[in-house]
Amino acid sequence: MQLTRSAGVLLHPTSLPSGKLDRDAYRFVDWLEAAGQSWWQVLPLGPSDEFGSPYRSPSAFAASSQLLAEPDARVTAREVEHFVARHPFWTGGWAQFAGEGALADQVRFEREWGALRDYAAERGVRLIGDLPIYVADVGADLEGWPELFAHGEVAGAPPDALSATGQRWGNPLYDWPVHRATGFRWWRERFRRTFELVDLCRIDHFRGFVSYWAIPARHSTAKRGHWRPGPGAELFRAVEHELGDLPLIAEDLGHITPPVRRLRDELGLPGMVVLLWAFRRRGSNPHVLENHRANSVAYTSTHDTDTAVGWFTGLRPRERAATGLDPGEPHWGLIELAYGSRAALAIVPAQDVLGLGSEARMNRPGRSEGNWRWQLEGGALTPALARRLLELAQQHGRVRG
């Protein structure tokens, strides 16, 4: 997929002042329009786990009822029947797992999300979703299709710059030969559902489709895992054959090898660069500005990193000076670098627009508690901030025509 030159803001709906798809969501869309933004990026929309993580959802298909502005809105039996008729693959299993009222909540979500999406589209704002590679260890997917999952090992990531002991996510791993034997039906249906809800989607942990880190279930950290081969292009071709061109962004961060880059490029998917990492080493570092590819997405920071200001504050004085950023506004320096990048799409988390520190960080990888809690203060995204972003977007050719 080839992206057009544009810009957007990352803000999960739970981070809206109300945390709901209510008037705050519509006000945010209005602010995005005023700021010349073409995209609103969110995190996964499924129900979160007990720690609030949307990346460990009990359903790969259902949307979160916690986002509903009107959770008690009337839903008729006919509406539920119509929804089930359009989603026969997964609704039965979700109803069995989640209980009475679960499908009515999906109807409510479809109403609210559809109305918000239409409102955004009328203002030139499209939606970027996020697809976790894995499902929860307790949920409707594992209960409904146990044959699709392997046993004895769990998912995670090896030790890296984000975590010295790696990340033990604990999600079940896929039995890829079984998926292949079904023609990747579960994945075809999962992507179909995803593209009902968003215009473009970041696919999390893309490298796991080439090879993935398998951790013995009895181990408490990810240090002693090992690599196993993933399905590669075969999965995506099967989905593509049924659904057509796949509007995806490959999250190609972390331990990226040449085979991962080859798969990304073979599929024609844009990858990601993060400007917090552009000052570490030069050479082949893909995050350095001069190494950015046109078919990519440039982020100032992500939901898994510190904020721009938090990162800058944590640098040693010599390191801060070496960045060349204005110590008074390092976040705006990074935003301008992102907008000036040759990367087609520039995404800035709302925390970086606001210049917030580490207290506003969304997630700390490797920790289960204390994440996913940050919320925007009402009125924080001011008209002045919108004008400043708009001016940058105009200056760097990122405003829609």
Q: Which of 33, 112, 189, 204 is catalytic?
A: 204
- Helix then strand count (H, E) for the chain reads 14, 12
CATH topology for 6-395?
A: TIM Barrel (3.20.20)
Helix (H, G, I), strand (E, B) or coil at 191: helix
Which residue has 């009475």 as its token pair? Answer: 100
Predicted structure pTM score: 0.96
Look at residue 81 in the predicted model and tell me its pLDDT. 98
70 catalytic? Reply is: no
Query: Is 137 assigned a catalytic role?
Result: no
Q: Given this model, what pLDDT does residue 281 score?
A: 79
304 flagged as catalytic: yes
Domain residue limits, the chain: 6-395
β strands within 204-291, DSSP E: 211-216, 226-229, 248-250, 271-274
Residues 6+ apart with CB under 8 A from 304: 162, 362, 363, 365
Mean per-residue pLDDT for 350-361? 98
Q: 311 by DSSP, 3-state: which?
A: helix
Question: Which of 138-152, 153-167, 176-190, 334-348 comes out lowest in average pLDDT?
Answer: 153-167
Under 8 Å between Cβ of 337 and 7: no
Catalytic residue among 49, 112, 189, 304: 304
Burial class (CB in 10 A: 0-12, 13-18, 19+), 72: exposed
pLDDT in tens, 106-122: 999 999 999 999 999 99
Model confidence pLDDT, tens digit, residues 197-215: 999 999 999 999 999 999 9
Tell me: the pLDDT tens digits for 318-338?
999 999 999 999 999 999 999
Catalytic residue among 251, 252, 336, 352: 251
Which pLDDT band, with edges at 50, 70 and 90, does 1 fall under?
Answer: low
Tell me what pLDDT residue 159 has: 86
